[in-house]
Amino acid sequence: MNRQRPHTTVVLAMTADGKISDRHKTAARFGSQQDKDHLESQIALVDGVLFGAETLRAYGTTLSIKNPDLLAQRQTRSQPSQPVQIVCSASGRLDPQFPFFSQPVPRWLLTTDKGADQWRSQKSAGFEKVIQIESPESAINWEHAFNKLGELGIKKLAVLGGGTLISSLLEADCIDEIWLTICPFLVGGTMAPTPVEGEGFTLAKAKSLQLISVERREQEIFLHYQGSHSK
């Protein structure tokens, strides 16, 4: 496995029945303040935050670090105050009017040649860097993409969704750790997205995990897993 790529941690909150949103793909804000604080603390550890276009469309914004203690810790580690926010979109079709583009955070776009064409005349819209990953298909080649991120100085990466992106990263063996917060809600429905979407894996090829820790905080449970290839 190529260790030039970033050490990658997925951070997600899901309902007790394993949903990360409802059937309308509404922005999932069912986590408590403790879950939000946990997410912010994980983001504060990394150089970059990766999320898919559907996640951006659902929220319109990204979570920036505001906790003074976390900002001070980043300064002590000689890190910029905010990690790079990296949007993954093969098509590049994103609305430049999203509030995300006016947030005081560095923004990169990870895309294909076709997706980069969408932004050649829109540099002022807010992407400091457009990373083109050459691929014979419309999908992003994740081995190439993560090697490129490593070359650009992203040593630690947090992935915030969605399920299709996480499925692709699992298939490419690009995920080292997973944090899952289980929240006390039930959503149900076959159309509600889960942490891992895509075509899925057969039982014979299921991705195994090693449980590192379990913590209960009031009504939520925080699970920390390590990927089997990271042992």
Digit-coded pLDDT (tens) for 10-67: 999 999 999 999 999 888 888 999 999 999 999 999 999 999 999 999 999 999 999 9
Classify residue 112 as exposed, middle or buried by CB count within 10 Å of its CB (0-12, 13-18, 19+). buried
Cβ(83)–Cβ(73) below 8 Å: no
Domain that holds residue 192: 7-230
Q: Are 112 and 137 in contact (CB under 8 A)?
A: no
Percent of the chain at pLDDT above 90?
A: 77
This prediction has a pTM of 0.92
Is 1 within a domain?
no
225 occurs within a structural domain: yes
The mean pLDDT of the chain is: 91
CATH, residue 121: 3.40.430.10
What is the arrangement of strands in the sheet containing 209-217, beginning at the earlier edge strand? 129-132, 107-111, 84-88, 48-52, 156-159, 7-15, 177-183, 220-227, 209-217
Per the structure, how many domains does the chain have? Answer: 1
CA 36 and chain centroid, separation: 15
